[in-house]
Each structure stands twice: as C-alpha cells, then as structure tokens.
C-alpha cells in the first residue's frame, strides 16, 4: 500500500477519534455521582422525581377509560385518568423488527405526562369525556383542581394539546417521562444512537450524551425536547418555550432488560397565556420517524437536526449534498442496495481526479524508490537523521517531485469519506430495506450467528464487513509496489499497518449498519478498478522515469526551487545550524568538566 493511501485512512480514523474525544458532549461528574455509584431503586423508579400529588377524595363510582385519536400516520391512546398519553403507534408501515407489528414509541405503561398548577398545588386529575371524534378529544375535570380542561387534536404525526387552567398564576409545571421501546435489530447499536435532543432559543440544537446516563439544567427557554430513539422520536414543543427545569436520559437499570431502549425524562415550567379569562398552556407533540419531510411538519426551528448527520462540514455535506442525491435516486430506483451502488459510482467519479493525482504522485515516488533506499543505506544511523533527511529532500527537489502531492488530495476527500460514515447509520430510508443476504441495511447483517460472543466483536459475523475488510486488504496488497519509499530507520513498517487495518475494520464495523459496510466495500472495488485503469491506460512509468532522470541531469542553474521546497530547505538549514550549535555547546561543556576533574 502506498504511504499516501495509508495517510488518508489514518486521517479518517484520527478524525473519528478526535470527534469522540472533543466534540461529543461528556456528562459532568457531580459530587453525588462520585459518592453514589449504584442508584437506589427508589431513585431509579422515576427519571425526574414527580411531586407528591394531593388526593381529591374518594370517588368509588369513577371508572377510567381510554380514547383513541387517529390519523393516517399515527394512533394515540389517551386515558381519562390524568389525561395521560398511554400509547403512540405508527400507522404508515413502520414495523418493529422483531414482532413485525407497528412501531410503538414506548413500552406498555411507559409514558407519564403531568400538568401541575404551581399556585394551587398538585392533584390526581380525573376527567370526563366532553367531546370525542377520530381527530379531536375534549376532557373536562370532574373535580375542583386548577386544570379544568384538556383539548387534543391530531394531524399526521402531530398531536396538539391545549390545557386550560384556573388560578395557575402565569406558569404551570410540565413533566413527561417515557421508557423508549426497543424496536430495532441491534439493541446495543440502538442505545448508542438514542438520547435527548433539544433546542434552546438563541443557542441552537444541543443533546445529552447518547447511550449513557446524562442530564442537564435548562438555562434558556427551550423550543422543543426530543426523546430520540435512533430512527424514531417522541418530541414535545412550545411556541412560548419551556423555562427552567431539568432533562435526563439513561439506560435501564437492569442491563438484561431488552424491552427498554432508553429512559427519558423532563421536568420544566411552562408560561400560560390569558385567553378569554382563562389561562391556557399549549404544547405540541410529534410521534414519528426521524426523516426530514415528516419532522418539518412541526414548524420548529432546527428540528431536522434530530437526525444526526454529523457536525460541522460533515453534517453540511450530508444535509445539502448526500441526502438530496439519495432522495433523487430513490425516486427512480426501488432497491436501496442499488442506490448505494449508484451513489458509490457517482462519488468515486467525482473523486477520480483526486485518485489520478494520488496515483501519479505514487508513480513518481516509485521511480525514486531505489535512490531513496540508497540514501537510507548511506546514512543508516539515527545520528545521521538530519543529513539523511536533507539528502532525501535534495533528491525530491532535483527530481521535481513533491512528496506531499499525494497527501493533499487525501485531505480534500477526507471530509466526504467521514460524511458517508455518518450518513448511512442516520438515514431512516435504509431501515427495513433488504439487499442480498442483509434483511435490514440500517442494522448489521449476519451470515453466521455464533453460539458465543467474542469481546469487542459480537456473536455474529457480518458478511458485508468481511467483504469490505477483504477488499481493503486486496487493495493495500495491490498497491504495496507503489509504496512511496522504503521505510526509513525509526519509522513504522507500513506493511504491518497494511495487515492491521483490515483486521481493525472487522471489529470496528461488525455491529455497524450493513449499508455502511456495503458502501465501503463497493467504494474499494471501484477504487481498485480505477487504479488498474489508470495504471494500464493512462500512466507510463517509463516516461515518468525518463522525465525525472532528465530533470536530475539538467544543469543546476536551470533548476528552480518551488516556494515549498525553498521554505523546507531553509527550515532544514536552520535546524542543522541549531543542531551544530547545540553539539558545540555540549562539547565545550564536556571539555570544561573534564578539565575540572583533572584539576
């Protein structure tokens, strides 16, 4: 494998590591967290502690019932006991992977919504049905609590709720906690991509640490809060904004519990508006898929960024280039696997000039390989490193070869390669789409289920990951002859890197979305084809060798140093000068010590 290609791969993985270390928010360690390692069952019973409610009195004749709100996309069940949201079930073809039943966003009995009037205390509200239809429900309080009426209406994935109070004194408490239901193929992968996302007014979208116990105090008004579960979300928003409060998400206490994806909770305050003598609090729920078109029906700012396409330029590339391209192709191609193939061909075609530049640079370096080896043999010791480097750079300069010419193209294409790394696991359009042996391109594929689990690998063998790693190994072996230069003394052996990288990829991608491994496999195959075509049809190494030899044989006065070469030579001369001065000082110090000992 050539050194430039290895540099490209290492840059990509370095960017992933830097992102995980410095750009993913890490939960703060509080004093309580340091002293209390295992939460008590009472503390974990509720994610956000609810205040003690006041019992309005005995009502033995009351029988709670449920009401159903339906649209073509969503069915929501509401209880008259507290006006609680019991279930939210998608109706438009999204199915749970295991049961093949319609997606439900939380477990049975796993949602609890509470409205609290601060001025008059809290009550267990019991309601009667005043009005009921398929798309509207009106509940009235049968007691004396400050919450007098709840009005629900449904449209698509959105449920509007209007809460009408008396004596709420301008602000009410809003609490909601839910146990997200496990709906995807891989529970571990699903949890790693689930958390609370929210948008603070004036600050933009933010989120809690995905897949871990994390919480935050709200500082500015929050427009919306999303209980995000990988490909689906339960979101609540307010036009006036939620005020002070707390958000928290955490995995279930029992790690063996495979029914719960993540637990979510929010405890905030909400301003009320005075309308016709009544205090009104309005919120809007969204229960649906994490796709751009559906999320945009809410009208909330930055709501599309619940879909985590990546940060900075990577997210921009995915939202503005990759995703529109995928959507366009999906309008004409029915197979998601074929769409991935076409996208691969398009992307590699766009990057072909970079491949050409990279291979041309490698071909030039290959011609210089014997000369570089001769320099390494001439200066084998570590003490000669400076002189060895100067001779090597002199060779490059006299040959008209820029050793960084192949690295710059790799830097140019690195953002696009990492953007694809973020795109496939976040794209719900791949969910449930099969291709060859993969039954879901949004989850891992398996050609063999193991009776045991291999640490850091899993209990299955991903076929597309094997193909991807194998194609990478083949590509690296194919290009070892194009290696930029012999390994210099003190430098790592690139052949070892060649063998470690595919093995690393096997472990790293085995649990990832199979669509991603499919893309990287196809990209490797196309790159191998491009390199073969360039080598056989477009690049004549003999002509390159003749051109370099002619450049080396040209009179010195005809050779002009480029700006980079000149700066590099100047820097090396300064380094050598400093090294000589330091050596001179050491010699003088040693001589003075020896003279002192003799005296």
What's residue 55's pLDDT? 45
Question: Which residues make beta-bridge pairs with 77?
Answer: 68, 87
| 281-290, 392-401, 438-447, 502-511: the lowest-pLDDT one | 392-401
Number of Cβ atoms within 10 Å of the Cβ of 85: 24
* Burial zone of 98 (CB within 10 Å; 0-12 exposed, 13-18 middle, 19+ buried): exposed
Mean pLDDT for the chain overall: 78
Most confident listed range (25-39, 71-85, 558-572, 585-599): 71-85
Selection from 272, 192, 288, 198 nearest residue 240 by Cα: 272
Residue range 306-352, pLDDT digits in tens: 998 888 888 888 888 999 999 999 989 989 999 999 999 998 888 88
Rounded average pLDDT over 559-578? 60
Q: Tell me the torsion sign for CA atoms 560, 565, 567, 570.
A: negative
Give the per-residue pLDDT at 178. Answer: 93
Going by C-beta distance under 8 Å and a sequence separation of 6 or more, which residues neighbour residue 550?
none
| CA angle at 407 for the pair 499 and 417, rounded to the nearest 5° | 70
**pLDDT band at residue 137 under the 50/70/90 scheme:** very high
Pick from 179, 124, 161: which is nearest to 146 by CA? 124
Mean pLDDT of 525-551: 74
Go through the chain and tell me how many residues it has. Answer: 599
CATH code given to domain 38-308: 2.70.98.90
Look up residue 589 and give its two tokens: 């110090």
Q: What is the pLDDT of residues 182-200, one digit of tens each?
A: 999 888 888 888 999 999 8
Q: Which two tokens stand for residue 234?
A: 């339960």
In the three-class reduction of DSSP (H, G, I as helix; E, B as strand; rest coil), residue 151 is classed as: strand
- The distance between the two most distant Cα atoms of the chain, rounded to a whole number of Å, is 111
Burial of 316 (0-12, 13-18, 19+ CB in 10 A): middle
CA 556 from centroid of its chain's CA atoms: 53
Domain residue ranges of the chain, discontinuous segments joined by +: 38-308, 324-551, 557-588
pLDDT at 57 over 90: no
Its pTM stands at 0.76
Per-residue pLDDT at 162: 93
Pair 296, 314: CB distance under 8 Å: no
pLDDT (tens digit per residue) in 7-54: 555 555 555 545 444 444 433 333 333 333 333 334 444 555 544 444
Which pLDDT score is estimated for 42?
42
Say which residue, 457 or 152, is predicted with more confidence: 152
Q: For tokens 């999906």, name the residue.
A: 330
Residue with more model confidence, 416 or 559: 416
Cα separation, 506 vs 496, whole angstroms:
16
What is the Cα–Cα distance from 384 to 272, expressed in whole angstroms? 77
**Which pLDDT score, from 0 to 100, does residue 569 have?**
60
CA distance readout (Å), 102 to 91, 153, 248, 260: 6, 21, 27, 16
pLDDT of residue 588: 76
DSSP state, 46?
-
- Sort 118 into a burial class: Cβ within 10 Å, 0-12 / 13-18 / 19+: middle
Cα(54)–Cα(127) distance, rounded to whole angstroms?
16
Q: How confident is the model at residue 123 (pLDDT cuts 50, 70, 90)?
A: low
Residues of the chain above pLDDT 70, percent: 73
Of 379, 408, 381, the residue nearest 394 (C-alpha): 379
Say yes or no to pLDDT of 233 above 90. Answer: yes
**pLDDT for res 51:** 45
Of the ranges 145-159, 415-429, 539-553, which one carries the lowest mean pLDDT score? 539-553
Confidence of residue 133 (pLDDT cuts 50, 70, 90): very high
Q: Which residue has the higher pLDDT, 281 or 572?
A: 281
Per-residue model confidence (pLDDT) at position 447:
92
pLDDT of residue 34: 33
Task: Provide the 10 A C-beta neighbour count for residue 233.
Answer: 25
Residue 422 vs residue 37, higher pLDDT = 422
Predicted pLDDT of residue 374: 73
Helix (H) or strand (E) holding 10: helix 3-18
Give, for 111, the enclosing helix (H) or strand (E): strand 106-117
Tens digit of pLDDT for each residue in 469-511? Answer: 999 888 877 666 555 444 555 555 556 766 778 888 888 888 8
Q: Spell out where 335-431 has E strands.
A: none
The continuous run of DSSP H or E covering 389 comes out as helix 385-399
Cβ atoms within 10 A of the Cβ of 156, count? 16
Is residue 82 pLDDT above 70, yes or no? Answer: yes
Q: Which residue has the tokens 């709720």?
A: 161
Helix, strand, coil in percent for the chain, rounding step 5: 45, 25, 30
- Could you tell me what percent of the chain has a pLDDT over 90? 27
What confidence tier does 549 reach under pLDDT thresholds 50, 70, 90?
low
| Sign of the CA dihedral with 469 first, then 470, 471, and 476 last | positive
Give the Cβ contact number of residue 100 at 10 Å: 8
CB 191, CB 208: distance < 8 Å: no
How far apart CA 482 and CA 115 sit, in angstroms, is: 69
Rounded distance, CA 364 to CA 18, Å? 33
**In angstroms, rounded to a whole number, what is the distance separating the alpha carbons of residues 251 and 283?**
27
Q: Is the pLDDT of residue 204 over 60?
A: yes
Distance between CA atoms of residues 414 and 339, nearest Å: 22
| Strand, coil or helix: 94 | coil
Residue 556 clears pLDDT 60, i.e. is over it:
no
Q: What is the pLDDT of residues 247-279, one digit of tens each?
A: 999 988 777 788 898 999 999 999 888 877 788
Q: What pLDDT was estimated at residue 41?
A: 38
Residue 1 has pLDDT above 80, yes or no: no
pLDDT of residue 2: 44
Residues 307 and 315: beta-carbon distance below 8 Å:
no
Locate the DSSP E strands across 2-59: none
Task: Please measure the distance between the N-terminal and C-terminal CA atoms of the chain and give it in whole angstroms.
Answer: 61
């Amino acid at each position: 494998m050539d050194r430039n290609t290895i540099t490209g791969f290492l840059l990509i993985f370095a960017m992933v590591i830097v992102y995980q270390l410095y750009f993913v928010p890490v939960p703060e360690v509080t004093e309580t967290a340091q002293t209390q390692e295992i939460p008590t069952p009472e503390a974990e019973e509720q994610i956000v502690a609810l205040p003690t409610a006041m019992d309005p009195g005995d009502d033995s004749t009351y029988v709670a019932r449920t009401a159903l709100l339906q649209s073509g996309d969503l069915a929501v069940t509401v209880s008259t006991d507290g006006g609680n949201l019991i279930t939210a079930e998608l109706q438009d073809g999204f199915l749970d992977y295991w049961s093949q039943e319609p997606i439900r966003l939380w477990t049975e009995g796993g949602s609890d919504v509470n409205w609290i009037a601060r001025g008059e205390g809290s009550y267990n509200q019991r309601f009667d049905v005043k009005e009921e239809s398929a798309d509207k429900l009106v509940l009235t309080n049968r007691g004396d609590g400050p919450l007098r009426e709840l009005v629900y209406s449904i449209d698509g994935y959105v449920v509007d709720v209007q809460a009408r109070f008396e004596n709420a004194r301008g602000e009410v408490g809003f609490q909601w906690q839910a146990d997200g239901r496990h709906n995807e193929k891989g529970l571990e992968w699903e949890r790693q991509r689930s958390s609370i996302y929210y948008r603070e007014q004036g600050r933009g979208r933010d989120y809690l640490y995905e897949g871990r116990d994390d919480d935050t105090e709200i500082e500015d008004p929050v427009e919306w809060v999303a209980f995000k579960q990988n490909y689906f979300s339960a979101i609540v928003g307010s036009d006036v904004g939620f005020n002070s409060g707390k958000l928290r998400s955490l995995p279930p206490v029992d790690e063996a519990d495979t029914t719960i994806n993540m637990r979510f909770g929010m405890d905030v305050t909400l301003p009320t508006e005075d309308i016709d003598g009544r205090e009104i609090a309005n919120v809007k729920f969204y229960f649906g898929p994490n796709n751009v078109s559906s999320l945009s029906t809410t009208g909330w700012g930055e709501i599309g960024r619940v879909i985590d396409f990546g940060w900075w330029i990577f997210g921009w590339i995915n939202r503005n280039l990759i995703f529109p391209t995928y959507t366009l192709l999906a309008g004409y191609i029915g197979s998601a696997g074929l769409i991935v193939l076409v996208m691969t061909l398009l992307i590699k075609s766009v990057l072909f000039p970079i491949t050409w530049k990279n291979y041309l640079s490698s071909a030039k370096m290959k011609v210089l390989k014997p000369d570089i080896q001769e320099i390494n043999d001439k200066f084998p010791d570590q003490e000669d490193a400076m002189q060895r480097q100067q001779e090597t750079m002199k060779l490059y300069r006299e040959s008209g070869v820029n050793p960084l010419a192949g690295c710059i193209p790799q830097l140019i294409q690195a953002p696009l390669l990492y953007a694809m790394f973020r795109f496939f696991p976040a794209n719900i359009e791949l969910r449930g789409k099969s291709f060859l042996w993969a039954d879901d391109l949004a989850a891992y594929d398996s050609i063999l289920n193991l009776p045991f689990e291999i640490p850091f690998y899993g209990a299955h063998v991903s076929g597309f990951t094997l193909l991807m790693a194998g194609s990478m190994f083949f590509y690296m072996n194919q290009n070892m002859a194009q290696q930029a230069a012999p390994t210099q003394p003190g430098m790592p052996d690139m052949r070892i890197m060649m063998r470690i990288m595919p093995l690393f990829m096997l472990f790293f991608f085995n649990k990832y979305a199979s669509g991603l491994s499919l893309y990287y496999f196809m990209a490797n195959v196309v790159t191998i084809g491009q390199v073969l075509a360039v080598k056989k049809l477009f690049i004549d190494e003999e002509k390159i060798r003749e051109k370099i030899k002619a450049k080396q044989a040209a009179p010195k006065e005809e050779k002009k140093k480029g700006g980079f070469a000149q700066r590099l030579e100047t820097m090396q001369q300064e380094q050598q000068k400093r090294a000589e001065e330091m050596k001179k000082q050491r010699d003088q110090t040693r001589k003075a010590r020896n003279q002192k000992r003799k005296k």
